[in-house]
Amino acid sequence: MIELPKSVPIPVMQALAAASERYGVPLRLLLGVAWVESRFHPGSTGPVTRSGEQAQGLMQLMPGTARGLGVDAYNVDQAADGAARFLKQLQTQFGDWARVLAAYNWGPGNVSKRGEWAQWPGQVQQYVLNVWRAGQAAPIPFPGKVWQLPLSPRSSQASESNRS
């Protein structure tokens, strides 16, 4: 069973919420990808692949994908933006989110060739399930709303005084 997130670092939540709103990718899906890929650690690197490359950053973008998206995979805001944009492109191509997640993990070419769940390797099926579970478990303050921190300490104090 996958370990599920108990909290989300504020900069990660802000970046993912902004990217979710910008591209229309569900926030819980972005949270699930970020958790499964990096456990919310923006400096993480994946194992060396057969091509000799390593996935990088919060969303574990491959170097070529990050370059193609014009983002720095180790920058939280850019990684969230690039991954959300890429996921939206994949959704346009594949339609349903399970195929989108499989393409994110396994590559769009593989999903195009073997598009049915039963034809995917077990690791890809498990990835999709893990992202789904992690995304559903991630704590989101004020569910159903785009989560934002107050813009300044003054606005935080003002909102607290409105509660009394």
- Each residue's pLDDT tens digit, 92-114: 999 999 999 999 999 999 999 99
Residue 154 falls inside a structural domain: no
Mean pLDDT across the chain, nearest whole number?
Answer: 85
Report how far residue 73's alpha carbon sits from residue 9's, in angstroms, rounded to the nearest whole number. 17
Residue 69 falls inside a structural domain: yes
Residue 158 falls inside a structural domain: no
Position 57 pLDDT exceeds 90: yes
Query: Do 45 and 63 meet the contact criterion of CB atoms below 8 Å apart?
Result: no
For the residues 5-33, what does the mean pLDDT come to?
93
Residue 155 falls inside a structural domain: no
Query: How sure is the predictor about 2, in pLDDT bands with cuts at 50, 70 and 90?
Result: confident
Report how far residue 78's alpha carbon sits from residue 95's, in angstroms, rounded to the nearest whole number. 24
Residue 149 falls inside a structural domain: no
Residue 52 falls inside a structural domain: yes
| 3 flagged as catalytic | no
Predicted pLDDT of residue 115: 77
Predicted pLDDT of residue 3: 79
Structural domain harbouring 96: 10-141
Q: Which has the higher per-residue pLDDT, 138 or 97?
A: 97
For the residues 77-102, what does the mean pLDDT come to?
96
CATH number at residue 105: 1.10.530.10
Report how far residue 97's alpha carbon sits from residue 101's, in angstroms, rounded to the nearest whole number. 6
Kindly report the number of other CB atoms within 10 A of residue 138's CB atom.
22
Which among 21, 37, 116, 160 is annotated as catalytic? 37
- Each residue's pLDDT tens digit, 110-130: 999 997 889 999 999 999 999
For the residues 74-100, what does the mean pLDDT come to?
96
Predicted pLDDT of residue 83: 98
**Alpha helix segments (H runs only) across 24-150:** 27-38, 63-69, 76-94, 97-106, 108-113, 122-137
Residue 1 falls inside a structural domain: no
Predicted pLDDT of residue 16: 96
Residue 28 falls inside a structural domain: yes
Number of domains in the chain: 1
Q: Which has the higher per-residue pLDDT, 6 or 71?
A: 71
Position 162 pLDDT exceeds 80: no
Query: Do 46 and 152 meet the contact criterion of CB atoms below 8 Å apart?
Result: no
Position 159 pLDDT exceeds 60: no
